[in-house]
């Protein structure tokens, strides 16, 4: 990536001028390479929330938030969501190309050979309270995988990393499903490797020893699409967390557990759950205006969950696809007249016409619709973010692997603007 241009930074009258290389990627804005800034000037940059900072270079996902573009490895999300399944998209994110039929078969078989959990790990679950939030269970159990796979812990070994990647992708649905079963007091359902990835996930969630689960193809397609749309999203908060954790050489299970922790927050992956809870709180179409007014009130911390995005300022392309799936699922299951679904669709209509939301470019995001779809699929609200985590694991491991393989990789160590007490002495 040779510098195309030079940015000249003037430090003020009579002070020195610094030249910094400007790097160009294949898409998106150029970046000023400030790595030599401190050495040249003694200055740091200040960018809380990283609104103007490229934290790494990456060849995995590209977003143009103004144009509503999302590409995985160069392919538009609209094409991937309608022409590929989650396993193909996972292969693409990890390897850079879509698989041939043979490559896909090989990849699926590698994942399948890791779907079961060690029986000791299953026992670990009984230490949790029955009412534990599934994300709390996920954070603990995924981190605990580190204690089971001493055979592949050398992060500098590409084969060890691949082994851990297969394990994580394969075991996340199993862990998500057992977190659910534990919560509702049902026996855990073992994976069935004759089913495809998404069918098996539904089977582990909804089958019981007493009753087989026969998945409706519309539901399988809807969940597969949720997984594709949530698989990666560039350097978002949880992915950056995984990269930062991994930059110290921490093992992949610990890193993914850190990503799950970050994803849980309501401003990130927790939004789908928060959105459904908000709909319950609103309760009735007649109260929508009251809540819209609260969302607009600067003195009220209430926000309309499932609306707005740090990067997408016109529309979220994933939301467009999820909206389509939402209507397909509601039609298939005859749920258009359900109280909460009617409320959600009316809230969408009113917010989209409201000046405040138009002016601030606040549109429904993917989690607004994915929450509605998951509820229609019979997935309890508290599981929504865990399903997001299952999908995002693919992106996290792809980004983690890319980072470790990068010869320029260094431990992440931001600096700060110190605003505390200046040096002082403890009284004698
Ligand atoms: N409801 C009401 N007002 C909002 C909302 C909202 N959902 N989102 C942003 N605003 C207002 C905010 O008050 C601020 O107003 P002002 O300029 O007057 O101070 C302005 O819009 C900009 O907000 P911001 O917090 O500076 O924007 P951000 O880019 O830092 O935040 C966000 C993005 C997603 C955290 C935020 O829009 C939000 O909290 N949305 C609700 C939570 C949500 O749905 N999150 C899921 C994101 S999609 C899933 C994912 O990718 O993780």
Q: Which residues are identified as catalytic?
A: 309, 367
- What sections of 132-196 are H helices per DSSP? 134-144, 158-184
CB 367 within 8 A of CB 275: yes
Question: Ligand 1 within 6 A of 310 CB?
Answer: yes
Q: How much of the chain is in helix, strand and coil states, percent to nearest 5? A: 55, 5, 40
pTM of the model: 0.93
Question: Ligand 1 within 6 A of 233 CB?
Answer: yes
Nearest one of 166, 401, 371 to 266, comparing CA atoms: 371
Question: Ligand 1 within 6 A of 361 CB?
Answer: no
> Which ligand 1 atom sits closest to the C-alpha of 365?
48
Q: Whose CA is nearest to atom 36 of ligand 1?
A: 308
Q: Whose CA is nearest to atom 11 of ligand 1?
A: 360
Distances from the Cα of 406 to the Cαs of 58, 96, 158, 232, in angstroms?
Answer: 10, 15, 12, 19
Contacts of 140 (CB under 8 A, 6+ apart): 124, 128, 257
Contacts of 351 (CB under 8 A, 6+ apart): 292, 304, 307, 357, 362, 364
Question: Ligand 1 within 6 A of 114 CB?
Answer: no
- The tens place of each residue's pLDDT in the chain, 428 residues long, gives 555 699 999 988 888 899 999 999 999 999 999 999 999 999 999 999 999 999 999 999 999 999 999 999 999 999 999 999 999 999 999 999 999 999 999 999 999 999 999 999 998 888 999 999 999 999 999 999 999 998 899 999 999 999 999 999 999 999 999 999 999 999 999 999 999 999 999 999 999 999 989 989 999 999 999 999 999 999 999 999 999 999 999 999 999 999 999 999 988 888 888 899 999 999 999 999 999 999 999 999 999 999 999 889 888 999 999 999 999 999 999 988 888 888 998 999 998 999 999 999 999 999 899 989 999 999 999 899 999 999 999 999 999 999 999 998 999 999 999 999 999 999 99
Count of CB atoms situated within 10 Å of the CB of 47: 10
Q: What is the pLDDT of residue 22?
A: 97
Q: What is the pLDDT of residue 68?
A: 93
CB 392 within 8 A of CB 370: no
For ligand 1, the distance from its centroid to the CA atom of residue 352, given in whole angstroms, is 15
Question: Ligand 1 within 6 A of 308 CB?
Answer: yes
Nearest one of 68, 128, 133, 357 to 265, comparing CA atoms: 133
Q: Whose CA is nearest to atom 25 of ligand 1?
A: 310
């Amino acid at each position: 990536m040779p510098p195309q241009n030079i940015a000249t930074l003037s430090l003020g009258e009579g002070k020195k001028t610094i030249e910094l290389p400007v790097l160009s990627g294949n898409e998106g804005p150029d970046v000023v390479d400030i790595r030599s800034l401190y050495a040249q000037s003694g200055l740091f940059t200040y960018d809380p929330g990283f609104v103007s900072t490229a934290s790494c270079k990456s060849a995995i996902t590209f977003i143009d938030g103004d144009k509503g573009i999302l590409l995985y490895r160069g392919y538009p999300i609209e094409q991937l969501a309608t022409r590929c399944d989650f396993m193909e998209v996972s292969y693409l994110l990890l390897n850079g190309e879509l698989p041939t039929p043979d490559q896909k078969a090989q990849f699926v078989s590698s994942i399948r050979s890791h779907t079961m959990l060690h029986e000791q790990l299953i026992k670990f679950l009984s230490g949790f309270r029955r009412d534990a939030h599934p994300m709390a269970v996920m954070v603990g159990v995924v981190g605990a995988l580190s204690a089971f796979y001493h055979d592949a812990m050398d992060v500098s070994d590409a084969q060890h990393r691949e082994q851990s990647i297969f394990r994580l992708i394969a075991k996340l649905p199993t862990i998500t499903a057992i977190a659910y079963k534990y919560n509702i007091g049902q026996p855990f359902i073992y994976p069935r490797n004759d089913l495809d990835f998404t069918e098996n996930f539904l089977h582990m969630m909804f089958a019981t020893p007493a009753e087989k689960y026969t998945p409706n193809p519309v539901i399988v397609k809807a969940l597969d699409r949720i997984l594709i749309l949530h698989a990666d999203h560039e350097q978002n908060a949880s992915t950056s967390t995984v990269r930062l954790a991994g930059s110290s050489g921490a093992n992949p299970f610990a890193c993914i557990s850190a990503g799950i922790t970050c994803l849980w927050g309501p401003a990130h992956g927790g939004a789908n759950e928060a959105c459904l809870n908000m709909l319950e709180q609103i309760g009735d179409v007649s109260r929508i205006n009251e809540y819209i007014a609260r969302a607009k009130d600067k003195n009220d911390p209430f926000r309309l969950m499932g609306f707005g995005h740090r990067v997408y300022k016109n529309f979220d392309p994933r939301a467009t696809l999820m909206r389509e799936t939402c209507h397909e699922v509601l039609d298939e299951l005859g749920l258009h007249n359900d109280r909460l679904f009617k409320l959600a669709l009316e809230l969408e209509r009113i917010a989209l016409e409201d000046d405040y939301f138009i002016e601030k470019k606040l549109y429904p995001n993917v989690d607004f619709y994915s929450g509605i779809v998951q509820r229609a699929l019979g997935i309890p609200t508290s599981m929504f973010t865990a399903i997001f985590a299952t999908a995002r694991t693919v992106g996290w491991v792809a980004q983690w692997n890319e980072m470790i393989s990068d010869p320029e990789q260094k431990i992440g160590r931001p600096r700060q603007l110190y605003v505390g007490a200046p040096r002082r002495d403890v009284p004698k």
